[in-house]
Amino acid sequence: MMSQHLAEAFPSIEILSNVLEELEDRAKKLEVAPDFECSPVDGLERLIADSTTEKADEVLDSGMFALGSMVTRHGLSRSEAKAWMGVVVDIHNVYKQVANIAKTRSAHVRAYESALSTLYRLELAQLAAEPLPVHQVFPEHLAMRNVDRKIGQPPHKADRRYHLEAFILSVDLRLMLGSIARSRFEGLPVASNEPAALHRRDVWYSFTLFIYQSCIVDCQKAITIAHATSSSRLAARSASLMLCSEFEQFRFSMLEKSRDMFKWGALSRDDLVAEVQADQEKLKSRLKELQRSYLTSRPSNDPSQIIEDRQWFHKNCGVKIKRCFAEYEKLEDHILNGSFYQPMSLQEKQDIIKALGFSHRGHFYNCMNGHTFVITECGGATQASQCPECRAPIGGGNHRLDASNTRAREYEDISRQQGVRQSPWAWAVDA
């Protein structure tokens, strides 16, 4: 029965994988609800703590990212939560199906657990009735030892394979969900300092990290179960999926750090690149250790068997993790050379100009690649520098602008509409 339910889930997951980019795009373009209120939100640590207190042999409950929880636990407005669920409803439905499989116990397992529980109660009752003054060990331990001897066979393991497959599928689905949530986060305004906008970014940042952390937690559960049932290949697959989940969490946090770098200047490119390189080296080391552990768990003197095991590991674990290494290179290049510019709405541009509070026009310029920068004070160039986006020359000296720089006409027009006065300086007469 479990195998049949799993087989029914595979086609749905494949379809979702094929339309993932479309779902990401829909999430990025979700309309921001005008009636948004800053709802209470559980902190990330609280969410993670709640999820880790669940049973050690069950995956994260689907209710943690259902409509109600998106409002009460994660802090979205109800209208935005409904719009979000409209994007991810198919993923959520398939996840519920897979989570139920992970909770299913076969008739053999239920019978074994029932017999074990009954014998354990009988043993405890018998030990309590014995006139012996003191037991050499705790009665609970002695009762379990007697039960193991009387029941005469180990726990039934036949359905553990399907149980672990459901664990792995649940993580695959959550990685899709995390990717869509990341797209939603990236589609939010980055320049606005309005409390509602800042809260929304915090909400989606926390929710996305929570998804990735839940993947890591459940992979750890799957590894423990696989080792306990001597399922070396399922243990290796679970471990490789955990490494991928950790990478996704790292990449997401690094992209946000890079945005903060450009917004607040708190970090340098070199700092971020060093962090990426250190994490990449750590993953290389863990991949080698995982392969060594897998091969050690399958000892053989047969060269063909050893070759087969190496090939299996490469196909089912190594290839997946090596995709992460390619993403490290993209992430590093993104930090060094990429553009972190995000097209802003008219309202955001108006908010920026209001926040700067210039009394006269003539402060906004573009580099040769169209990235906008600001010269404060009188608006005249007194220092040469590089564009933080593309490293093109910006600024100048003696109030003479670099020839490759141009007036950011749109910002100056908005300034004029807001009543900002014309500059008295010669270098800004056209502003």
Per-residue pLDDT averaged across 297-303, rounded? Answer: 89
Q: Which residue has the higher pLDDT, 377 or 248?
A: 248
Across the range 13-25, mean pLDDT stands at 91
Question: pLDDT tens digit string along 218-250?
Answer: 999 999 988 877 889 999 999 999 999 999 999
Asked whether residue 136 carries a pLDDT value surpassing 50, the answer given is: yes
Q: Which residue has the tokens 């339309």?
A: 19
The residue ranking higher by pLDDT, 65 or 159, is 65
Q: What is the pLDDT of residue 119?
A: 74
Do 102 and 59 form a contact (C-beta atoms < 8 A)? Answer: yes
**Residue 405 scores a pLDDT above 70:** yes
pLDDT digits (tens, 9 = 90+) for 244-283: 999 999 999 998 888 777 655 545 788 889 999 999 999 9
pLDDT at 430 over 90: no
Which range is most confident: 21-30, 171-180, 336-345? Answer: 171-180
pLDDT of residue 113: 61
C-beta of residue 181 within 8 angstroms of C-beta of residue 208:
yes
Q: Is the pLDDT of residue 341 over 50?
A: no
pLDDT at 135 over 50: no
Residue range 142-171: average pLDDT? Answer: 77
Helix 78-103, helix 160-186: angle, nearest 10: 170
Mean pLDDT throughout 49-65?
Answer: 77
Average pLDDT, the chain: 83
**Which band of pLDDT confidence, cut at 50, 70 and 90, is reported for residue 173?**
very high
User: Which is more confident, 231 or 173?
Assistant: 173
* Per-residue pLDDT, 288: 95
pLDDT(428) > 60? yes
Residues 6+ apart with CB under 8 A from 55: none
Higher-pLDDT residue of 37 and 201 is 201
Q: Residue 356: what residue type?
A: L
Beta bridge pairs of residue 421: 360
> What pLDDT sits at residue 306?
92
Domains of the chain: which residue ranges?
2-106+155-337, 107-151, 346-428
The average pLDDT across 289-306 equals 92
pLDDT in tens, 91-128: 999 999 999 988 876 666 666 666 666 777 887 788 77
197 vs 412, more confident: 412
Average of pLDDT values for 342-349? 61
Q: pLDDT of 176-225, one tens digit each?
A: 999 999 999 988 877 667 787 888 889 999 999 999 999 999 999 999 98
Residue 388: its pLDDT value, please? Answer: 77
Please report which helix (H) or strand (E) contains residue 157, including its range. none
